Structure 1
């Protein structure tokens, strides 16, 4: 800037106190400058193109409370906003706390520079003065965040920016032509729909929302987080927007994650959620704190889709952080649900619209020692009806959250570049599914194993019986060793043995999950009647860590007992999620497992069998591509049978390995519920002959049949009587053409074949149970 160039200070100072502060700042920094406000009143055509515009803002800071400057609920109750105090009290506040008022200046720009930006980004006909107002506001906002912190980074004037952009206007005109409607009408409707879901954030409401609703989790859990990964994310956030995709366990998930990010000075996430939670008073407050309430389904409304896509493109371009729950709803079983791809599709489209733009996906795991809401979710999974949310529901929920429930653990998987993930996924209809499944696999990898999940693992054996403390400890001892050797994110071992284990069980007993009978010579613990689904919820959160090992055990047993022999043709797999139909089991069987395949006979046969088991479970767990899956099985063999690469895997050797790990076999407790559920579903399909039945009716039939078979002792896992598990069975049967029979001439025979396959798996699990029967000697040794 030349000395002679004019300077105009643009400010929105609104009171005498604020104007005086801005005037003092201007005299010290730009003595010859002219102070103007509001800037929309300026005729910019009369100013020289070299005129320098300096955005300046008066910023009020709340008092320091517990080490932080934050508005409290008490401030609101007395109708005071410390961030915008009434003009009459401002001089008093400034006299008492001179540091309460700061003057900040944004990056200056000349009128010529602003006109160049305007020509590049604004739609034709948009007023230049409004563009200058917005640019000044954004510049001052960035300067203000240097004082208040990144946790108060919030988007401003969003709907106005989007609807006035040239990209929006051009896309709206294209959509109007496709719909055969006037462009102005489509623009007006899209702008109106933008206003229904755009989050109108304010710092005041962000403080109030956290101060009010954080009580829903602050008493119930002690929240922990891996700080090292947070530091990595903070560095990434300087150059790219973050998209947090957490597992969904509880209504408080967004509150817990928001607290973690806020306490570590991250910008607040814009959280996409269903409009079922937009009821008063939650909706109005939450929306102003960053919640974006959207319709559950809007595929039939092209203008709504266009507005949503435009909004997400804006968020990506401006590098605001996003958050949504990719499962689409809370898990009813403790396992991750199948990902919903709708919002991910829109973000991918948004990245594609912007040249060289990218976002970083952050797979996020949130796990709780205990949850009050599991009972209601288990009832829904057993066939009950979900109660609608409302004020009464919120009050009941808040009341239930008063009791301490242990820890809530927030962990982050490896960050994923959206563009890189799409490139790795290749082309084709399964591209987005592959990205989503990679995210789910990362969430699973980051998910910590809790002591309550291991307690459920021990008590939910195939036998419905009570266990002594020593027996439970004996079951968990090899499992803890396995967790340690695999370097899995396990619990404090002290909580799984001795007095720590007793305390874990007492906490579960206090919430009605387990019971203790102490009327005999020593106490015994068991699952409370009809609460198997609740205990299973905790167990299922950890099962994915053990499923590869379980598959190895079952496949090895098949080899040992001669059910699988070398030289057999590979079982034909059915195309599943994110799978390539041309990638056959035989190709994968030749892949290297660990370092090299030592035997092309029995080992290749066991690999094929492992892939067949994987195919049966592909709608229950998120498996990696086949080559990586076989590599993981090789690593599992390293733990199960060190030195296996130097051994010819005969049947005798395989059986010896299994018998040598009687205390550490995981297959029965890991896989029994899923094959029990498949038994029920396949049995019902066989009963139908070649007839078809609607999905909901078929699942309802299975709930009834499952309860019957559980009472008869045919189904060994009572927690397998589950709508969610039967839904997975439906997907598997549909994938195999067993529902309507499109892929089979004789669907009845194909259903029988699946039932036989499932029965074979359950028989193997029963034989593994017989191997484990020598464990009482181990228990006695532990007791001594």
Structure 2
């Protein structure tokens, strides 16, 4: 049951968005909306009244409100839906948000890992005394009775594909602008949907652009974006299996009442905790003004704000024991003893301490009991297998479970990616006669450019600082960015460290890129490539190469191949704008670049095994 204080707040702040014809007419009758409607009608060659009527219909479709009796029922149902989890949230962070909430509208931008996000996150916001929040969610869940109840609990159903519905986009822009101007709290996934790989996906800019436009037009300084990380010890078993099946290329099944009942039944297992953490808030008006002062345009401002929010989400996302164990088991193509898992996890724990990075729930990753319990939990969910018939018990990845283990590993991958790049930079200095630190820096920049569609990297100057910091951690000595670095220093750093992670972190992504590059090479100089067909070809070749042990199992992922295709398009290797003259040669050059990177990662993996054997 909701606290009396929050019920009173609901009654005071419970507002229906576009609930009545009068309210819709009032919004449509503003000078700005009238001009936009006339311009759009002229552009489409349609009657203004017809466009206005269509906007009205869309706004009614997006109706949402907070009805106290429904909110109470939804709260009870949400608690039942997350019954297999303990929700962990920092009360001090909630207290800070309550203070912000008094004078500001809060825009919660969340990482999206599970359907349970919308049952766990709003539940804790309400329990924490935050003003009612309107959630912007996909219309795929807008079916009876879920959609009806959700709209009365503040969820606004949104269509996902609106590229060919300009009138809908205008209605949505007006609705978001009205809500921002009215000071309502909003929440949505900045990724635009659930991650299928476990790491944060690239941001979607549409809704954020509508918010920033409203901030700019109103001049309001009371709009604050709040980055939110939502992380699970383990995801619901049936949900993660469906996600990985979709990554293998199977079509996504539509949600309906039968799906909802099946999903709810599958939540009976206890799977640990849900961790909700908040990054440093971003006052949008001030941040946008600062970016414009740097000379950035409207679209660039939105993109920078979105990337900064994603970076803050990653910065506040802790490492779970599940992720640490999956880092260990995915690094080997064999079963491991408890001691071997601990031997990989312990240096990782030391690295996290050196970085000051939080571990979810304050778990001690150097504690054998913690690692052992995590292994048993993963066996219970079927991700790992356990064999106890020999003198020692060993754990390995279950059949067709590599992608699921990869989902958990990737939830921590943002912590390790700079470490992996630093290792490759040092290796370049070691392998290149007469190499200098400059060559290591250029290698780091090349890897950053290659992987920029998969990871959120800092701006160039900050990226350099992060790289030098990693050099210092690897060497165990303070590092002067202006000091020289020769092959002997680089080799000593790599051989003396107790943690090498490039093969644990980067190999699946490089493998996926290499598959895509191979298919592009096979296509010769063709530019007219159907990207769906290309992804299908990548999945087929990837499966073949995985069976041949040429690439990792977890790299055979539709989402990872899609990012590889995006990278190739950015490099002018796909699409009508690609230059036909030397396109075959440039595709071959990409394949060669990836071959060299795979060899470097393999060398670091062998170096790690040699260190463990000493």
Same fold flag (TM > 0.5): yes
Check whether the contact 1:186–1:303 (CA below 8 A) recurs between aligned residues: yes
Hey, what does 2:352 align to over in structure 1? 483
Hey, what does 1:711 align to over in structure 2? 547
- Judging changes above 3 Å, is the alpha-carbon distance between structure 1 residues 147 and 246 closer, same or farther for their aligned structure 2 residues? closer
Check whether the contact 2:138–2:160 (CA below 8 A) recurs between aligned residues: yes
Q: Find the aligned partners of 2:366 and 2:559 in 1 and give their Cα distance.
A: 29
- Judging changes above 3 Å, is the alpha-carbon distance between structure 1 residues 557 and 333 closer, same or farther for their aligned structure 2 residues? same
Q: Secondary structure at the match of 1:292?
A: strand
1:265 counterpart = 2:129 = yes
Hey, what does 2:443 align to over in structure 1? 609
After TM superposition, the score normalised by the length of structure 2 is: 0.93
Hey, what does 1:408 align to over in structure 2? 274
- Judging changes above 3 Å, is the alpha-carbon distance between structure 1 residues 411 and 711 closer, same or farther for their aligned structure 2 residues? same
- Judging changes above 3 Å, is the alpha-carbon distance between structure 1 residues 682 and 190 closer, same or farther for their aligned structure 2 residues? closer
1:247 counterpart = 2:111 = yes
2:567 to 712, 720, 732: 732
The correspondence of residues 156-305 of structure 1 with structure 2, limited to 5 A, is 156=16, 158-160=18-20, 162-165=23-26, 168-178=29-39, 179-180=41-42, 186-217=51-82, 219-305=83-169
1:316 to 169, 180, 202: 180
- CA drift of 1:338 comes to 1.5
1:664 to 499, 506, 510: 499
- Judging changes above 3 Å, is the alpha-carbon distance between structure 1 residues 466 and 619 closer, same or farther for their aligned structure 2 residues? same
Hey, what does 2:474 align to over in structure 1? 640
- CA drift of 1:382 comes to 0.8
1:688 counterpart = 2:538 = no
1:365 counterpart = 2:225 = no
Q: How many pairs were matched up? A: 598
1:521 counterpart = 2:395 = no
- CA drift of 1:668 comes to 1.3
Check whether the contact 1:451–1:496 (CA below 8 A) recurs between aligned residues: no
Check whether the contact 1:169–1:187 (CA below 8 A) recurs between aligned residues: no
Hey, what does 1:57 align to over in structure 2? none
Q: Find the aligned partners of 2:6 and 2:432 in 1 and give their Cα distance.
A: 70
Q: Secondary structure at the match of 2:364?
A: helix
The correspondence of residues 462-611 of structure 1 with structure 2, limited to 5 A, is 463-491=332-360, 492-494=362-364, 497-562=367-432, 602-611=436-445
Hey, what does 2:491 align to over in structure 1? 655
After TM superposition, the score normalised by the length of structure 1 is: 0.73
| Higher deviation after alignment, 478-487 or 164-173 | 164-173
Deviations 1:524-583 (A, max 9, x none): 1100021000000000000011000110000110111117x65xxxxxxxxxxxxxxxxx
Q: Secondary structure at the match of 1:360?
A: strand
- CA drift of 1:159 comes to 4.2
- Judging changes above 3 Å, is the alpha-carbon distance between structure 1 residues 176 and 356 closer, same or farther for their aligned structure 2 residues? closer
Check whether the contact 1:163–1:169 (CA below 8 A) recurs between aligned residues: no
Q: Secondary structure at the match of 2:415?
A: coil
| Higher deviation after alignment, 720-729 or 677-686 | 677-686
- CA drift of 1:299 comes to 3.9
Deviations 1:423-481 (A, max 9, x none): 343323433221111111111111111000111100001x4111110000010111000
- Judging changes above 3 Å, is the alpha-carbon distance between structure 1 residues 444 and 289 closer, same or farther for their aligned structure 2 residues? same
Deviations 1:150-181 (A, max 9, x none): 69732147545743547843234323432256
- CA drift of 1:68 comes to 4.0
Q: Find the aligned partners of 2:589 and 2:192 in 1 and give their Cα distance.
A: 34
- Judging changes above 3 Å, is the alpha-carbon distance between structure 1 residues 761 and 247 closer, same or farther for their aligned structure 2 residues? same
Deviations 1:627-669 (A, max 9, x none): 11111112212212213328531101110110001x3111110
The answer to which structure, 1 or 2, has the higher relative contact order (CA under 8 A, 6+ apart) is 2
- Judging changes above 3 Å, is the alpha-carbon distance between structure 1 residues 745 and 478 closer, same or farther for their aligned structure 2 residues? same
1:619 to 450, 453, 464: 453
- CA drift of 1:227 comes to 2.1
- Judging changes above 3 Å, is the alpha-carbon distance between structure 1 residues 183 and 770 closer, same or farther for their aligned structure 2 residues? closer
Q: Find the aligned partners of 1:607 and 1:379 in 2 and give their Cα distance.
A: 39
- Judging changes above 3 Å, is the alpha-carbon distance between structure 1 residues 765 and 302 closer, same or farther for their aligned structure 2 residues? closer
- CA drift of 1:246 comes to 0.4
Higher helix share: 2
Q: Find the aligned partners of 2:27 and 2:558 in 1 and give their Cα distance.
A: 48
Rg larger for: 1
Check whether the contact 2:328–2:344 (CA below 8 A) recurs between aligned residues: yes
1:390 counterpart = 2:225 = no
Hey, what does 1:131 align to over in structure 2? none
Q: Find the aligned partners of 1:394 and 1:749 in 2 and give their Cα distance.
A: 50
Q: Find the aligned partners of 2:366 and 2:241 in 1 and give their Cα distance.
A: 24
- Judging changes above 3 Å, is the alpha-carbon distance between structure 1 residues 353 and 182 closer, same or farther for their aligned structure 2 residues? farther
2:15 to 155, 176, 192: 155
Q: Secondary structure at the match of 2:112?
A: coil
Check whether the contact 2:55–2:167 (CA below 8 A) recurs between aligned residues: yes
Q: Secondary structure at the match of 2:270?
A: coil
1:420 counterpart = 2:274 = no
5+ residue gaps, structure 2: none
Check whether the contact 2:500–2:605 (CA below 8 A) recurs between aligned residues: no
Q: Secondary structure at the match of 2:280?
A: coil
Q: Find the aligned partners of 2:504 and 2:27 in 1 and give their Cα distance.
A: 59
Deviations 1:758-777 (A, max 9, x none): 11111111111121123444
Q: Find the aligned partners of 2:405 and 2:489 in 1 and give their Cα distance.
A: 36
Deviations 1:362-402 (A, max 9, x none): 11000000112111100100111211111111111111101
Q: Find the aligned partners of 1:444 and 1:157 in 2 and give their Cα distance.
A: 32
